[in-house]
Structures are given as structure tokens and as C-alpha cells.
Amino acid sequence: SVIEAFSAKHDFITLVNKQSSEAHLPGTKIIQAFYQGFDTLDDNYDIICKFDADLIFPENYLERLAHHFNQNKKLGLVSGVCYIQKKDGWALEDLTGKDHIRGALKAYRKECFLEIGKLKTSMGWDTVDELLAKYYGWTFFADDALHVKHLKPTGSTYNKTAKYLQGQAMYKMRLGFPLTLITALKLGYKKKSLGFFFNYLVGYFEAYFYRTERIVTKDQGKFIRKLRWKGVLNKFI
């Protein structure tokens, strides 16, 4: 395999094997795989990165991340931006706001990573990490000059088992129904999918009725809702 070839050539690369189901379940499986590698590390690191395997980085990518971290000691997360292949070339993967760091290419300052409680083994981990970073006073930055080619567009391999997970994540983050509805409308419109919109809401209510375990405290949830409402209102002012 590609990893075996690189690990044989470089001492700093280690192959870790993990068996899992064939189903593509975003969130849980991804972070379980991350921790499988993370748990082999010692405590001697300054920055921890979680990268997907389907990315092509510009040559100076890590150097630029290090530069940004060194320039601002309150910078908790840094990344480039994802581009996907279209018929007429590579285009920005525009699913979320420009101030959001995509789950495919996260890089965390150690102190921030530990303060937010590391990564949540749940769908929504790549949103709640940034919200908790803000809660603890950290900032983050997506450098739009760093174009990262994303070979599999986000959501392209989601299956029927995963279709309710995004709505469930909204409940777990204590966002409440009004914000969940707004988010479902926005993403359903961007994906041009009425089914996506309904599945989002079904997932939320499923988590509500089964009282699914939350991934943030009540105080953190209050902060997150206030932050999200501020973002919504700013778009109409």
C-alpha cells in the first residue's frame, strides 16, 4: 500500500491497522481512526493535525501553518481551503462559511486541542471543536491562499445509515430546533435536495425523543446558540 511504502522509507511514519465496518459513517469512525493513531504518540508535540487521505496539499502547506501559529499565540486552529474538481477545473468546495475549517484538514495548537477536550467521537465533531475553541477564547484561521485539492467531495460517500446523523449532531450540540431548521434549509438548498432537508429534521427529532447524549455542557450550549444567532442576524443586517 501507499502507507506501507512511505513507512518503510521514513522512520517518522508508522502504519496503524484498524478493522471497521464497510459502512461510511461520518464522525464516529473517522475520529476512532484518528485516536487509533493519536494513542501511539507521546506528549511531546506542539501541533496536532487530522488530515483525510484524499487530499493533495501545496508543497509549502505545513510551513505556512507553522508560520500562522507562530504569528499569533491565541490561534488555536489553522488550515487551507478545500477545492473540488468540476468540469471546468478546480473550484472552491463552498458548503460552509469562509471562517469554518473543514474536517478534512484540521490542525490544532496543543493547548487548544486539550482545552476543548480533544475531538468528540460523534458526527458534528468538526463544528463543535471550533465552537468550543471560541468558548475558551481561541481564534482560528482558514488561509484562502492555500488551495488543497479534495478528491472526494464532502458527503459523496454517505449512505442510508448516515443520512440522519447531521440532524442528530445539532441536538447533541444543544443548538435547538429553530437553528436546526435554518441550517437544514440552508444546506438542503445548497445541495438542491429536499430529501436532505427532511432527513436533517428527522435526525434531530430522533435524537430528541431518544434523549441522545449531548456532547457539550449546558453553559457551552448557551454560548454556542448565542454565537450562532449572532451569525444568522448579521447576515440580515
Rounded Cα distance between 125 and 83, Å, is 21
What is the value of pTM for the model shown? 0.87
- Predicted confidence at residue 108, as pLDDT, reads 98
In the chain, the percentage of residues whose pLDDT exceeds 70 is 92
Tell me if residue 211 falls in helix, strand or coil.
coil
pLDDT tens digit string along 70-90?
999 999 999 999 999 988 889
Residue for cell digits 425523543?
209
The larger pLDDT score, comparing residue 192 to residue 95, is at: 192
* pLDDT of residue 24 exceeding 60: no
CATH class of 43-157: alpha beta
Rounded Cα distance between 156 and 166, Å, is 14
pLDDT tens digit string along 100-116?
899 999 999 999 999 99
* Residue 65, H or E segment: helix 61-71
Mean pLDDT over 176-202 rounds to 93
* pLDDT of residue 205 exceeding 70: yes
78: which DSSP letter? E
Neighbours of 53 (CB within 10 A): 10
Mean pLDDT over 165-186 rounds to 95
Instruction: Share the mean pLDDT of the chain.
Output: 90
- Cβ distance 141 to 80 under 8 Å? no
Strands (E), 6-138: 47-51, 55-56, 75-86, 89-92, 105-109
Mean pLDDT over 218-229 rounds to 97
Rounded Cα distance between 172 and 122, Å, is 9
Question: Range with the lowest mean pLDDT among 88-92, 143-147, 179-183?
Answer: 88-92
How do the domains of the chain map onto residue ranges? 43-157, 159-237
- Burial class of residue 153 in the structure, from the number of CB atoms within 10 Å of its CB (0-12 exposed, 13-18 middle, 19+ buried): middle
Confidence grade of residue 157 (pLDDT, cut at 50, 70, 90) = low
- Cβ distance 177 to 227 under 8 Å? no
- Cβ distance 123 to 60 under 8 Å? no
